[in-house]
Amino acid sequence: MIELNGSLSIEDVVTVACESERIALASNAAAKMRETRDVVASIVETNEQQVYGLNTGFGKLQDVAISKDNLKALQENIVRSHAAAVGDPAPVPVVRAAMLSRANTLSAGRSGVRPALVEQFVALLNADIHPLVPLGGSTDDLGANAHFARALLGEGRVEYQGKEVDAADALADAGIEPLSLAPKEGLSTLSGTPVMTGLLVIALNDVQTLLTAADTVAALTFSLIGNCPETFEKRVLADRPQQGHQTAARNIRCLLSDNVGIERMEQDPLSLRLVPQIHGTTRMQTEHVRDVVETELESVTDNPLVYPDGSLVSCGNFNGQPLAESADQLSRSLTKLTEASEQRTHKLLHDDAVPAPFLADNPGIESGLMIAHYTATGLVTESRLVDSASDHSVVVSGGQEDVHSMGTISARNLHNAVERVSLVFAIELLVAVQFASLDDDPPLSDELTEIVDAVSETVTLPDGDVHLHDKTETLAGLLREGFVDDIVGDAETARC
């Protein structure tokens, strides 16, 4: 059971999003929420003070006063009018992560909403009711957030027990009453960065696993065609002590056998020689993004903020710029990973020591892995063509809302980048395993031999270029699931 009190770790979110861990609103958080809710209730009761989004319109309509009789309708209308994102629904883990993130920031007690609002989020998550949340066209989460906000009211469509059903039917089956929104609660549900935060949490979880896989696949390729393992030596990395570089070098060093390389000085191609620098820099970028996301999970992303002393402050805490730029930077770093991997794949197919043209069993009759390399180059090009969404903005709401982070777009792009990384490295792994299978005595460590054997059994290599799509997708899934993690850990214990 994870209790919401305004502070979550990335691991907490992953557990709830991917493993359906149960959650609850902490009692001390509920007490803090009631303090600021009393402030909002007092303003509503006296009706002497105009507060944005509480008793006024939104955006350019902020000067339109709303009567006390229409405050409930104001909040429900913003949920309905803002559910404007389009396209296919987001994956369930992303939706769960987003809902958890929003419930958590509301539980911090700076939004002036009732504990009942957070408890409704908790009820839906614990019942595994997942709103269908499209992300297309969403810039700063508003258009996406409104889709899961509708489910709190028993409106819209949800995924429940493996089927798409009306939210009202799912809530009724789970014994949950639809929520009636009180003043400010619609705005507070829609505000902030929950979707981009959820996207980043899930992406980070995948990237951490893929970084170990990337080091392992590169170590296999280096074992087959590399000449200069001294590039991974401790003393070399100690002279430029970037932590990420050292970690990547250690992972590879631990996986190489003692008979890799030659005695005379040579220079390997940069895609082999710079693995510590390229992979290590992505590790460092990942750690930066992790810091940003962890801070976001302990932040209040709402507007206006409500304080127990009775003050309300209009601010920009809802803006997603730190997340947007972090997502774009990590996407660019992942693109560099794919560029180096694709070049190593090229070397595996064209090295002087290649056992057969394009690693085909029967060259000519079979094309071998020629087209697998085509696919890798296409995936790299797709990565290069993706623009940094955080560099752009829009002017909406009559010019009142004139700068947007585009963080939801940046975070979606990052998810696509993660998928491409897994596919490009799956192709490198596929090619390297085929190379090793055609080599009479490949200079592999026990751990890399174990990986080659496991991959060969999984994708039934070799059989030419038949079913390359299935093999690539299968290996990409294995890499995302972390099937090499334990092997790297064992090697580190044994050698490093």
- Res 481 pLDDT > 80: yes
In this structure, the number of other CB atoms found within 10 A of the CB of residue 372 comes to: 24
**Omega cis (within 30) before 462:** yes
Burial, 479: exposed, middle or buried (Cβ in 10 Å; 0-12, 13-18, 19+)? buried
- Res 103 pLDDT > 80: yes
- Say what the pTM is: 0.91
Q: Identify which has the larger pLDDT, 259 or 167.
A: 167
Taking the CA of residue 193 as centre, how many other CA atoms within 13 Å lie in the half-sphere pointing to its CB?
A: 32
9-18, 123-132, 301-310: range with lowest mean pLDDT: 301-310
Per-residue confidence (pLDDT) for residue 464, from 0 to 100: 47
81-85, 289-293, 463-467: range with lowest mean pLDDT: 463-467
Per-residue confidence (pLDDT) for residue 461, from 0 to 100: 53
Find the farthest-apart pair of alpha carbons in the chain and give their distance in angstroms, rounded. Answer: 86
pLDDT tier for residue 265 given thresholds of 50, 70 and 90: low
In a 3-state reduction of DSSP, which class is residue 396? strand
Per-residue confidence (pLDDT) for residue 490, from 0 to 100: 62
In this structure, the number of other CB atoms found within 10 A of the CB of residue 289 comes to: 22
Residue 7 tokens read as: 């502070």
Contact status, residue 231 vs residue 268, Cβ threshold 8 Å: yes
pLDDT tier for residue 129 given thresholds of 50, 70 and 90: very high
Burial, 482: exposed, middle or buried (Cβ in 10 Å; 0-12, 13-18, 19+)? middle
Percent with pLDDT over 90 in the chain: 65
Residue pLDDT, tens place only, 3-53? 999 999 999 999 999 999 999 999 999 999 999 999 999 999 888 888 887
Q: Identify which has the larger pLDDT, 489 or 427.
A: 427
Taking the CA of residue 28 as centre, how many other CA atoms within 13 Å lie in the half-sphere pointing to its CB?
A: 4
Provide mean pLDDT across the span 108-132. 97
Q: Supply angle C-alpha 344, 345, 350, rounded to 5.
A: 95
Q: Tokens 């060093």 identify what position? A: 253
Per-residue confidence (pLDDT) for residue 89, from 0 to 100: 93
Residue pLDDT, tens place only, 173-197? 999 999 999 999 999 999 899 999 9
Distance CA 27, CA 446 (A): 53
Q: How far is CA 88 from the centre of its chain?
A: 17
What does pLDDT average to over the chain? 89
Q: Supply angle C-alpha 114, 127, 10, rounded to 5.
A: 75
When computed from its CA atoms, the radius of gyration of the chain, rounded to whole angstroms, is 26
In this structure, the number of other CB atoms found within 10 A of the CB of residue 381 comes to: 11
Per-residue confidence (pLDDT) for residue 62, from 0 to 100: 77
C-alpha distance from residue 97 to each of 14, 110, 240 (Å): 7, 21, 38
pLDDT tier for residue 465 given thresholds of 50, 70 and 90: very low
Per-residue confidence (pLDDT) for residue 53, from 0 to 100: 79
Distance CA 352, CA 437 (A): 17
- Res 420 pLDDT > 90: yes
Residue pLDDT, tens place only, 208-222? 999 999 999 999 999
Provide mean pLDDT across the span 294-311. 94
Provide mean pLDDT across the span 438-453. 90
Per-residue confidence (pLDDT) for residue 494, from 0 to 100: 57
Per-residue confidence (pLDDT) for residue 491, from 0 to 100: 57
Q: Report which DSSP code applies to 162.
A: T
Question: What amino acid is encoded at 400 in this protein?
Answer: Q
Per-residue confidence (pLDDT) for residue 217, from 0 to 100: 96
Provide mean pLDDT across the span 424-441. 92
In what order do the strands lie in the sheet containing 129-131? 129-131, 157-160, 163-166
